[in-house]
Every structure is written in structure tokens, then in C-alpha cells.
Amino acid sequence: MLYTRTLQALISELQKLPGIGPKSAQRLAFHLLRQPDAEVRKLASALVEAKERIRTCSRCCNLSESDPCELCLSPRDDAVVCLVAEPRDLVALERTREFKGRYHVLGGLISPMDGVGPEQLKVAELLARLQATDRVAEIILALGSTVEGEATSLYLTRLLKPLGLKVTRLAFGLPMGSELEYADEVTLARALVARREV
């Protein structure tokens, strides 16, 4: 009975979030109870609205409110498709203003430890997309330099090269062992410019 039922329910829900342990959940809950009603309602409705409206683009598999997404509809270079693991990686690359081609969001990286193989990623969607057009000449692998990023890059290189595509990777310049989303914009831009064929 230490916490009332609704407070315990809120703490339990907050605790399900990644990186939020019991102490942080408690702290967040108490913080929220101190906020004005309107603020908490704004958070709650932002959650529901985002969940309701945001879908996956059937072309590039990025998150979007429309299908195809704005990026797929905008005039860009169809000859180059940049593969990223997550939407946040796409955003990181867009911030560099260095890349003018298309994207494809894999939705993760190959990780046997977590039971993620190519079939859990949007690889079939990528192949279908490549088959539907002959405009694509180059695939850029922008998957970071973690073990999972390396494994996925290797897998995709072997898959895509036989299709007659030029496969390139972001240049090292990225700090080793880092994740793409934490790279600063200059490093990321440089890595993009100095990409190499594999």
C-alpha cells in the first residue's frame, strides 16, 4: 500500500521504457505529479497521436505520416540509395546536408545474439525496390562500425554486389566501436564524402 494504485500503475508503465529503472520511474512519476494538468495531458496526447499517425513508408521503410513519405516524394538522386539501420540514423545523415540520394531504413542490424537475422530486417523490401527500377547504381552502407554494423555490412555487400551494384561504405573517420547516431555532424559529413567502394 506504500503507493496508491494509480501511482503504482504510472510507475510500472514508466519503468517499461528503455533505460528507465525503478528509481528513475519513481522520480519521473513524482515530477509529473508536480506538473500542471495541461502539461501531463500534452504528453499523454503526444504519445497517442504519434502512435496513431506515424506509419512506415512502404518505399523506404522510414517513419512517416504519409505513404510514400516526403523524402521519397521529393526530387532527389534516384541513382544512390543509402542504407541505414534506424530512422534516427537517417535524420543524423540528413543533418549533414551532404547526401542528396534516397534512403532505405533496415529497421535494425543483424545480431544473432538478439535473434535478429536478415529476415527480421527490411531486406526483402530493399530487394523488391531494387527490382522495380533500374535507376539505382550505388548502395551506400551507413551502418556504423559496431560488431552488428560490420556483420550487416558484410551480409549486404555479398547480397548486393552480385546484382551489379556499386556498394560503398561510409569512410572510417567514424570513431571505431561507436554508434552512428552519436557521431557529430562534421565527422559524419567527412565519412560520407570519403566513402569507398567495397
Residue 110 CA: distances (Å) to CA of 96, 137, 146, 149, 161: 26, 24, 11, 7, 18
Give the residue among 178, 192, 185 at the shortest CA–CA distance from 83: 192
Residues 33-52 that bind its own copies (CB under 8 A): 33, 35, 37, 39-52
Give the residue among 82, 104, 107, 109 at the shortest CA–CA distance from 188: 82
- Which amino acid would we find at residue 174? L
Here's the x/- map for its own copies, 127-166, by CB under 8 A: it reads as: ----------------------------------------
Residue 9 CA: distances (Å) to CA of 25, 26, 153: 11, 11, 42
Kindly tell me which of 81 and 90 has the beta carbon lying closer to its own copies. Answer: 90
Kindly tell me which of 4 and 131 has the beta carbon lying closer to its own copies. Answer: 4
State which of residues 68, 78, 85, 88 lies at the interface with its own copies (CB under 8 A).
88
Given the rule CB under 8 A, which residues bind its own copies?
A: 1-7, 9-10, 12-14, 16-19, 23-24, 26-33, 35, 37, 39-54, 63-65, 70, 86-88, 91, 94-95, 181-182
